[in-house]
Structure 1
């Protein structure tokens, strides 16, 4: 959040007042943040109340914020085609790793795609008849851009005029492929968020093809 404040000051994030972490033998097991209160309601709680004009406008506003987020510069030691979480820890995204299958700290595009496919296979993805298509249809990217990594109605605070007052929950953020933000928006969700996903896909500024990611998420979600 401090990085966003510094490099994308028009993106609304809470001001961090302080943090507390507890460790056990050097391993963190508890953490909390003290943050500024951001007024409003979650977009999830009010989406059904909005008319089509408001839904279209707020989705465009989200995409405008994404464009600003993408400009946050990479660290000097992270090349233009390498991916890394913002704090440098291994990703725990189900597509890339978990506590029992920890991915490398830095990933290039081929390594990222190989990990997605290997985890798909390890999770019994080969039980699907169309498995031969997966490696060839996983999206590719030759750049890394900053991504929130978990934008959804539950993490968006809006005011009574339906303007965004905060983006919350940045723990999945980092530098990832060009398509990553959109792919993360399209994760499996509850029915209340599915219509929002359709609006975000309808209003997206670029036609990212995430067919392969959608198929992989049959077993990795």
Structure 2
């Protein structure tokens, strides 16, 4: 549970009640996912609880909310349970993008892709703090990272890194068939969501797109974003990868390098 040092007496009582009723609220809430691996439950009109989660996901969500205008669920509080870390966050009203993407016309698809790329550029423009100047790939706090493409899932005991240099990370991924064949440029480090796929996006009634599922986000080489939007395109969404490659300019290495020249 988050620190209660700065909370009023009333707020501390509310927190205590939330802790005491936690298991009951998970059982009675509207279950989006509920199995032995992951529980995602809508516990009220405005709140969703997800867990177990990694610290990597929590750090990314809090950082992005504080440093960008990217739309994502706001973290309300955390619960440290025997099963692991649970995050209480905003429930985002809207439609999951993968359920409507195939029916959208070309203009609507391009408009959404432009939103996605604007968000991605904001993330990629973020840089690790001076305390992490010698880190190329890490969680937001400089710890190990998780990513399914590397064979380390978003929860569990196994993780990878952190990696001090681009070559260290390249050596770790060398021979990985999911990674080979992609230009490893630009190699500089930025904040990468690492799972930009329609199933991780909610289209709100006002047309604004919100990004969810930040479990793989962290400090990565910028090119990792493209590797992952290709890898994560399952089931394939018509035009998704093609439009992202086109709008980002990542279909050609020379354009890709110039696209990010302002951030280097």
Residues 1:80 and 1:60: Cα distance change in structure 2 (over 3 Å): farther
Please state if 1:14 is matched with 2:35: no
2:239 counterpart residue number: 195
**1:176 alignment partner in structure 2:** 220
SS in 2 for 1:191: coil
- TM-score norm. by structure 1 comes to 0.74
TM-score, structure 2 length as denominator? 0.63
Equivalent in the alignment of 1:131 = none
Q: Is the 8 A contact 2:189 2:219 kept in 1?
A: yes
What aligned pairs does 1:62-211 form with structure 2 within 5 A after superposition? 62-79=116-133, 82-96=136-150, 98=152, 102-117=159-174, 120=176, 139-160=184-205, 162-164=207-209, 166-193=210-237, 195-207=239-251
Q: Which runs of 4+ in 1 moved over 4 A?
A: 99-102
- Contact 2:137–2:161 at 8 Å: present in 1 too? no
Bigger CA radius of gyration: 2
Matching residue within 65, 84, 98 for 1:44: 98
**Native 8 Å contact 2:137 2:145 kept in 1:** no
* Contact 1:43–1:153 (CA under 8 A) maintained in structure 2: yes
Gaps of 5+ in 1: 24-28, 126-133, 210-221
Shift of the 96–77 alpha-carbon distance from structure 1 to 2, 3 Å rule, reads: farther
| CA spacing shift, 1:40–1:90, aligned 2, 3 Å | same
Shift of the alpha carbon at 1:138?
Answer: 5.9
Pair 142,48 (structure 1): closer, same or farther in 2 beyond 3 Å: closer
CA deviation profile, 1:144-175 (whole Å, cap 9, x unmatched)? 011111111011111245431x1111111111
Contact kept? 1:17, 1:34, Cα under 8 Å: yes
Measured at CA, do residues 101 and 160 of structure 1 come closer, stay the same or move farther in structure 2, by a change above 3 Å?
closer
- C-alpha displacement of 1:101: 6.8
Q: 1:140 to 1:95 in 2, by over 3 A?
A: farther
How far apart, CA to CA, are the structure 2 residues paired with 1:109 and 1:15? 32
CA distance in 2, matches of 1:51, 1:14: 27
Q: CA offsets per residue over residues 87-134 of structure 1, 9 Å max, x none?
A: 44422324545378753323411111111125x3xxxx6xxxxxxxx6
Using the TM superposition, give the Cα deviation of residue 57 of structure 1 relative to its aligned residue in structure 2, in angstroms.
Answer: 1.1
SS of the equivalent of 2:125 reads coil
Q: Is the 8 Å Cα contact of residues 141 and 178 (structure 1) preserved in structure 2?
A: yes
